[in-house]
Amino acid sequence: MSDDVPVLRMESVRKTFGGSVVLRDVDLEVAPHTVTALIGASGSGKSTLLRCAGLLEDVDDGAIWLDGEEITDPRADRDAVRRRIGVVFQAYNLFPHMTVLENITLAPRRVHRVPRARAEQQARELLERLGLGARAGEYPDRLSGGQQQRAAIARALAVRPRLLLLDEITAALDPELVGEVLDVVRDLKGDGMTMLLATHEMGFAREVADQVCFLDSGAVLERGTAEQVFGDPRQDRTRRFLRRIV
C-alpha cells in the first residue's frame, strides 16, 4: 500500500446512542507508520471513536476508510476488515480458559488458517519480543496485569494488522506496571506500526504521538503535533483540560 494513502480516514463521522450525540462530525487521518493519540475527558468519545474505527460500532453518518477502502460501505466485508485491525482494551482482553499461547494462536489458526506449528512458532517469537517468552504455557490469571496487557498486544499483533487500536491499555494497571506496557508501544512505533490510541498518560502521548487529537463532547476540538497541542494549545478548553490532568 502506498505511503500517501492514510491507513485510516474518518470523514464527518457521527455516532449517537439513544438520541445523544457521542461523536459529532469527526474527521481524522492516520498516516502509515504514525501514532495518533486521542486525549480528552472521560466521556468525550475516545472509546466510541476507536470502536467505530474498528467496526465494533456502526456509525450513524459519515464514512471511514482503511487503506483507501471504504469500510462503512454496506457492501464491505466487515469481518475481513476487522481482521486487518488489532484492538486492545483497558482490561479483560485474554480468554481466561486458554493459555497465553492458545490465546495468541487462536485467530491465526481459526480465522487465517495458519497451520498450528507455524502459528505457534510465530506466537513464540512475538512473546519473546514482548518479554514473555517464558509465559507461553501460563493461564492469564497467573500473569501480572502488565504481562496480561503485553500478551493482549501480542494477540492483537498475531494477525499482522494494518492498524492497532489501543484503548487506555494502561488505565487498569498498578502504576509500577504501566512502564513495561508503554515500552512495548514505543517498540512497535520504532518498528513502524500504525497506531491510534486513547490515553490519559499525557507524558507518554507527548513523547510517542506524531498527532494528538483533543476530543471534547464528541468533537475533535483541536489537533496537531504533540509539540503544538501540549506546548501551545490553541483552544481554551484544551488548555483547561491539560492544566487539570497534568
Q: 211 burial class (0-12, 13-18, 19+ CB within 10 angstroms)? A: buried
Q: CB of 215: closest distance to ligand ADP in angstroms?
A: 6
Q: How far apart are CA 56 and CA 46, in angstroms?
A: 13
92 sits near ligand ADP (criterion: CB under 6 A):
no
Q: What is the 3-state secondary structure (H, E, C) of 219-234?
A: EEEEEECHHHHHHCCC
Q: Contact with ligand ADP (CB under 6 A): which of 43, 115, 133, 203?
A: 43
Part in contact with ligand ADP (CB under 6 A); list of ranges 1-9, 44-52, 95-103, 108-116? 44-52
**CB closer to Mg ion out of 65 and 241:** 241
Part in contact with ligand ADP (CB under 6 A); list of ranges 29-37, 38-46, 157-165, 228-236? 38-46
Q: Contact with ligand ADP (CB under 6 A): which of 9, 46, 206, 223?
A: 46
Rg (CA), the chain: 18
Q: CB of 153: closest distance to Mg ion in angstroms?
A: 18
Q: Which residue has the cell 488548555?
A: 239
Q: Which residue has the cell 519480543?
A: 129
36 sits near ligand ADP (criterion: CB under 6 A):
no
47 sits near Mg ion (criterion: CB under 5 A):
yes
**CB closer to Mg ion out of 22 and 104:** 22
SS3 49: helix
Interhelix angle 145-157/100-110, rounded to 10 degrees, is 20
Interface positions with ligand ADP (CB under 6 A): 17, 22, 40, 42-48
